């Protein structure tokens, strides 16, 4: 089976600090993987390796079965659009209308002219509306994004991801600033609507129980090392306690 | 995030509140977009009407004979007059200009501090905040209204009046800067005081402290860095003002510039222009360094240096402070008031005044549209933070152009434009546009530098080409703010039409100059009132338009 994301003995060093040490992980298509662990364990670095914004100090990172690093600009662009990212702070453009923020998911594919012209006369409105409809806010299509509530903006960000249609979805603490009920709701949307059964999802989470309920597989990170890598059903409370233990 | 003491923040305070100040979350205004569109359509028609009135497409505007003079002027740029006698003359003139700016700023800070207290809400707030005191509210509104008059009148107009009562004395130049700038400073300082006054002030008041001592103990120490930072920003503006006042007779580099221009001594002009660029660049650099990296120690050192400059400037200009209170001055004031009152129409009647006012309005509108179009475009080049060496070099070039255009005073731009264009409001608009482009471009570049562009990086990460990132993230996030500054600058540009009017570009400024030459004081008063009313109208339009940008 080809893997979507494979890390072979990867180490990442920032100055004197080892962010990741000898990480060896392969993630297959359709898997839902949660990265868990205390603050500073290397969860964000792991995700940034996946979208190639960090290069490993040692070892290799392969996405979509090819460990070849994309060479040309067009190649790099093609690799970019297969990976979609959910940011904790959403990174939407407030003054633009919702339809343009959703359509921004197309930007990795569209030509320059098409992208610019769409700002004047929105293209592929039906696709945008369909995506918003699946998230339950189709009526917001023509509104200014910064006039929406926080929850609605979260849905706009997810709709952009639906339109982008990536094969690998990365999410860095998507629910860190939400209360438990809203966190549950956002995870629902992220897992069922956006990831579905076909896309691969790698999500970093603070909430250990949420991770066990929503994901198939948990990778526990601590001080840059993989402490455990197991199916969600096999992860016990004791493993969680050991992971978050505070050394004195 | 924009820093609390950035240039943009200072301008927000002058304009009365940030354009994108949070109005509370979840407030939906679907008609907000449509209203902004209505304004854009109105603006478009106003611009077309102004262009038509100015004669675009109807008659010859460009005077082809002037290109030779224009060419000779620019060719002299590489051969400034560097003879030792002229350089030492310019050095002396430079000291005069700087001294005017220093003393004007110092006095405007004093006026500003006094005025700030008078117009701050904190001062007029009752000890018990739950009770609305009608008398105090009326007092606050009255003093606010009173303080808005001096800032509606341009420094040059103050200069024309002051020279009548004070005669030829450096006091004229100093006060012409200090009075309008003092009123602007008062407005900004009041806003700073109100922002800073919090629980500490209320606690002192509740414990029985008087208003002055509560301000001195509870507000002033915390507000001091902001107050000093704004004073230095005012100094940057004062330099430009001192040059303009110099051109109309106060002396210094401005005066030298107009003398050289009259003699068509282009090489001398360029020496003066280069001196201005250097002075203005150093003042801007000093101020922005203080805002960006102003530690307490640096602020204190700059303040001490400022005080030393004040002492040196007094020694250089030797203003006769006695004239302020002398009996002859008092008699001249009385005479001026008597001769001005009651306002009378210009020679061609009240309708002529209205026509001049329309000309002035059109001139300011065209100037601003022209200035903001190129300022916003070049701001993206000028913004610091380019990653490639080519981008950084382009940014440096763009910044130099901006410094240059704002260092050369508008009357010089007007005279240069008048070489190649037939007189009328259009050359005035072009000249004001070039000057405001320099000021606005710097402001817009800072908007871009302060943009926290995580959204843009997120788009780049999903493979969007650079142009698309610009169109989908950078532009929509910065354009509303830049448009807001352009609209605020329109208010300022309207007042500045006076100074290009004086050199013959038309409008109310031209009329004012003619009336002054004819000693028609009652006519001047009518013109000044017309200017104040017009500036009030533009303020209202600009504020309403800025509100739709939020």
Residues B37-90: pLDDT tens digits? 788 888 899 999 988 888 787 777 788 888 888 888 889 888 888 888 999 999
Q: Residue A164: its chain B contacts at CB < 8 A? A: 462
Contact B244, B503 (CB under 8 A): no
Partner A contacted by B477 (CB < 8 A) = yes
- DSSP three-state, residue B534: helix
Provide the pLDDT for residue B182.
93
**Res B381 pLDDT > 50:** yes
Task: State the greatest distance between any 2 C-alpha atoms of chain A, in Å, as a whole number.
Answer: 61
Partner A contacted by B454 (CB < 8 A) = yes
Strands (E), B326-395: none
**Chain A residue closest in CA terms to B466:** A112
* Least-confidence region, from B138-142, B290-294, B372-376: B290-294
Distance from CA of B468 to the nearest CA of A (A): 6
Give the angle subtended at the CA of B314 by the CAs of B335 and B269, to the nearest 5°. 85
**Chain B residue closest in CA terms to A53:** B461
Give this complex's ipTM.
Answer: 0.74
E strand or H helix at A83? strand A83-86
Provide the pLDDT for residue B270.
92
**Chain A residue closest in CA terms to B27:** A147
Dihedral of alpha carbons A234, A238, A240, A243, sign: negative
Q: Residue A172: its chain B contacts at CB < 8 A? A: none
* Least-confidence region, from B18-22, B114-118, B283-287: B18-22
**Res B351 pLDDT > 90:** no
Provide the pLDDT for residue B230.
86
Contact A80 B454 (CB under 8 A): no
Q: Residue B28: its chain A contacts at CB < 8 A? A: 143, 147
Whole-angstrom Cα distance, residue B534 to residue B152?
A: 10
Provide the pLDDT for residue B102.
94
Distance from CA of B454 to the nearest CA of A (A): 6
Whole-angstrom Cα distance, residue B59 to residue B422?
A: 10
Nearest by CB to A96, from B26, B469, B476: name it.
Answer: B476
**Res B281 pLDDT > 60:** yes
Contact B419, B269 (CB under 8 A): no
**Chain A residue closest in CA terms to B479:** A95
Provide the pLDDT for residue B544.
81
Nearest by CB to B463, from A80, A94, A97: name it.
Answer: A80
Contact A158, A150 (CB under 8 A): no
Whole-angstrom Cα distance, residue B146 to residue B137?
A: 14
Tokens 């003054």 belong to residue: A95
CB atoms within 10 A of CB B349: 10
Provide the pLDDT for residue B101.
94
**Res B368 pLDDT > 90:** yes
Whole-angstrom Cα distance, residue A199 to residue A82?
A: 10
Q: Residue A150: its chain B contacts at CB < 8 A? A: 25
Provide the pLDDT for residue B93.
92
Q: Residue A85: its chain B contacts at CB < 8 A? A: 458, 461-462
Whole-angstrom Cα distance, residue B135 to residue B327?
A: 37
Residue range A17-72, pLDDT digits in tens? 888 999 999 998 889 999 998 888 889 899 988 887 788 888 888 888 765 555 56
Residues 6-45 of B with CB under 8 A from A: 25-30, 32-33
Mention every residue, 6+ apart, whose C-beta is less than 8 A from residue B348.
Answer: none
A159-184 average pLDDT score: 86
Q: How far is CA B196 from CA B114, B139, B221, B223, in A?
A: 17, 22, 10, 6
B177-195 average pLDDT score: 89
Whole-angstrom Cα distance, residue A19 to residue A11?
A: 8
What is A1-82+166-248's CATH number, 3.40.50.300, 3.30.390.10, 1.10.490.10, 3.40.50.1980? 3.40.50.300
Q: Parse chain A into domains and list their residue ranges.
A: 1-82+166-248, 91-165
**Res B100 pLDDT > 90:** yes
Contact B54, B425 (CB under 8 A): yes
* Least-confidence region, from A73-87, A204-218, B382-396: A73-87
Provide the pLDDT for residue B150.
87
Provide the pLDDT for residue B352.
86
Provide the pLDDT for residue B33.
52
pLDDT band at B1 (very low <50, low <70, confident <90, very high): very low
Omega into B342 within 30° of 0, i.e. cis?
yes
- What six digits make up the tokens of B392? 């950084």
The 3-state secondary structure of B88-104 reads HHHHHHHHHHHHHHHHH
Contact B454 A87 (CB under 8 A): yes
Mutate to test the interface with B, among A51, A83, A86, A147 (most CBs of B within 10 A): A147
Mean pLDDT (chain B) is 83
pLDDT band at B98 (very low <50, low <70, confident <90, very high): very high
Q: Residue B479: its chain A contacts at CB < 8 A? A: 95
pLDDT band at B16 (very low <50, low <70, confident <90, very high): low
Residue range B222-238, pLDDT digits in tens? 788 788 888 888 898 89
Q: Residue A149: its chain B contacts at CB < 8 A? A: 25-26
- Helix, strand, coil percentages in chain A from 3-state DSSP, rounded to 5: 40, 25, 35
**Res B306 pLDDT > 60:** yes
Q: Residue A105: its chain B contacts at CB < 8 A? A: 462
B334-348 average pLDDT score: 84
**Res B25 pLDDT > 60:** no
Q: Residue B463: its chain A contacts at CB < 8 A? A: 76-81, 107-109
* Least-confidence region, from A209-213, B376-380, B503-507, B528-532: B503-507
**Chain B residue closest in CA terms to A52:** B461
Partner A contacted by B480 (CB < 8 A) = yes
Whole-angstrom Cα distance, residue A164 to residue B302?
A: 53
Partner A contacted by B1 (CB < 8 A) = no
Residue range A224-238, pLDDT digits in tens? 899 999 998 888 888
Distance from CA of A148 to the nearest CA of B (A): 6
Task: For chains A and B, count residue pairs whose Cβ atoms are closer than 8 Å.
Answer: 86
Nearest by CB to A112, from B27, B459, B468: name it.
Answer: B468
Mean pLDDT (chain A) is 85
Nearest 5°: phi and psi at A199? -90, 155
E strand or H helix at B393? helix B389-407
As to burial, measured by CB atoms within 10 angstroms (0-12 exposed, 13-18 middle, 19+ buried), residue B46 is middle
Q: Residue A77: its chain B contacts at CB < 8 A? A: 463, 465
**Res B106 pLDDT > 90:** yes
- What six digits make up the tokens of A242? 């050991």
**Res B2 pLDDT > 60:** no
Show the domains of chain B with their CATH numbers: 91-338 (1.10.3720.10), 361-548 (1.10.3720.10)
Nearest by CB to B25, from A110, A143, A149: name it.
Answer: A149
Q: Residue A96: its chain B contacts at CB < 8 A? A: 472, 476
pLDDT band at B30 (very low <50, low <70, confident <90, very high): very low
Partner A contacted by B431 (CB < 8 A) = no
Distance from CA of B17 to the nearest CA of A (A): 19
B218 vs B52, more confident: B52
* Least-confidence region, from A48-57, A192-201, B31-40, B370-379: B31-40
- Strands A168-172, A83-86: parallel, antiparallel or unpaired by DSSP? parallel
């Amino acid at each position: 089976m080809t893997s979507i994301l494979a890390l072979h003995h990867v180490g990442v060093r920032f100055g004197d600090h080892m962010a990741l040490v000898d990480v060896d992980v392969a993630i297959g298509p359709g898997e839902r993987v949660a990265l868990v662990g205390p603050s500073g364990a290397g969860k964000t670095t792991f995700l940034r390796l996946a979208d190639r914004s960090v290069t490993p100090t040692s070892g290799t990172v392969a996405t979509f079965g090819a460990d070849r690093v994309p060479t040309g600009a067009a190649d790099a662009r093609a690799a970019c659009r297969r990976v979609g990212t959910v940011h904790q702070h959403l990174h939407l453009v407030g003054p633009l209308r919702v339809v343009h923020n959703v359509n921004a998911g197309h930007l990795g594919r569209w030509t320059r002219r098409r992208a610019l012209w769409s700002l004047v006369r929105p293209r592929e409105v039906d696709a945008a509306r369909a995506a918003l409809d699946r998230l339950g806010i189709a009526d917001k299509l023509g509104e200014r994004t910064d006039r929406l509530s926080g929850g609605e903006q979260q849905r706009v960000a997810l709709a952009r991801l639906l339109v982008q249609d990536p094969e690998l979805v990365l999410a860095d603490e998507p629910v860190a600033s939400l209360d438990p009920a809203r966190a549950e709701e956002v995870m629902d949307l992220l897992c069922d609507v956006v990831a579905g059964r076909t896309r691969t999802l790698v999500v970093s989470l603070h909430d250990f129980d949420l991770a066990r309920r929503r994901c198939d597989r948990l990778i526990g990170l601590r001080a840059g090392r993989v402490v455990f890598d197991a199916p969600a059903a096999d992860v016990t409370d004791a493993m969680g306690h050991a992971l978050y233990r505070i050394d004195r | 995030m924009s820093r609390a003491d950035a240039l943009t923040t200072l301008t927000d305070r002058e304009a009365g509140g940030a354009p994108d100040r949070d109005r509370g979350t979840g407030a939906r205004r679907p008609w907000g977009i449509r209203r902004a569109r209505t304004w854009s359509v109105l603006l478009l028609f106003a611009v077309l009407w102004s262009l038509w009135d100015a004669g675009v497409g109807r008659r010859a505007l460009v005077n082809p004979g002037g290109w030779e003079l224009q060419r000779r002027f620019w060719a002299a740029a590489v051969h400034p007059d560097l003879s030792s006698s002229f350089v030492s003359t310019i050095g002396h003139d430079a000291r005069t200009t700087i001294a005017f700016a220093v003393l004007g700023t110092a006095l405007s800070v004093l006026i500003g501090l006094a005025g700030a207290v008078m117009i701050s809400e904190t001062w007029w707030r009752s000890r018990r905040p739950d009770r609305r005191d009608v008398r105090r509210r009326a007092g606050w509104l009255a003093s606010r209204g009173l303080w808005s008059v001096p800032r509606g009148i341009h420094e040059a107009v103050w200069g024309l009046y002051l020279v009548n009562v004070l005669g030829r004395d450096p006091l004229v130049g100093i006060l012409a800067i200090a009075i309008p700038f003092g009123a602007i400073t008062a407005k900004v300082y009041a806003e700073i005081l109100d922002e800073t006054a919090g629980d500490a002030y209320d606690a002192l008041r509740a414990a029985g402290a008087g208003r002055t001592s509560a301000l001195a103990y509870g507000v002033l120490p915390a507000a001091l860095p902001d107050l000093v930072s704004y004073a230095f920003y005012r100094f940057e503006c004062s330099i430009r003002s001192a040059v303009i006042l110099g051109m109309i007779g106060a002396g210094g580099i401005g005066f030298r510039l107009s003398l050289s221009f009259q003699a068509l001594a282009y090489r001398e002009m360029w020496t003066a222009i280069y001196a201005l660029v250097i002075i203005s660049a150093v003042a801007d650099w000093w101020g922005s360094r203080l805002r960006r990296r102003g530690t307490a120690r640096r602020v204190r050192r700059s303040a001490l240096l400022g005080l030393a400059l004040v002492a040196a400037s007094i020694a250089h200009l030797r203003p006769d402070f006695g004239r302020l209170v002398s009996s002859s001055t008092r008699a001249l004031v009385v005479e001026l008031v008597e001769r001005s009152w009651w306002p009378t129409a210009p020679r061609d009647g009240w309708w002529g005044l209205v026509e001049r006012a329309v000309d002035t309005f059109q001139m300011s509108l065209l100037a601003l549209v022209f200035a903001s179009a190129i300022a916003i475009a070049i701001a993206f080049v000028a913004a610091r933070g380019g990653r490639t060496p080519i981008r950084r070099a382009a940014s440096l070039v763009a910044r130099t152009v901006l410094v240059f255009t704002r260092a050369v005073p508008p009357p010089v731009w007007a005279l240069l434009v008048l070489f190649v264009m037939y007189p009328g409001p259009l050359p005035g608009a072009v000249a004001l546009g070039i000057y405001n482009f320099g000021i606005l471009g710097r402001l817009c570049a800072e908007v871009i530098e302060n943009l926290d562009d995580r959204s843009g990086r997120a788009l780049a990460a999903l493979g969007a080409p650079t142009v698309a990132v610009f169109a989908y993230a950078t532009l929509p996030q910065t354009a509303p703010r830049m448009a807001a500054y352009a609209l605020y600058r329109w208010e300022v540009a309207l007042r500045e039409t006076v100074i290009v009017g004086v050199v013959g570009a038309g409008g109310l400024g031209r009329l004012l100059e003619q009336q002054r030459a004819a000693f028609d004081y009652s006519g001047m008063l009518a013109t000044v009132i017309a200017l104040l009313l017009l500036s009030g109208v533009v303020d209202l339009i600009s504020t309403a338009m800025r509100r739709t940008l939020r």
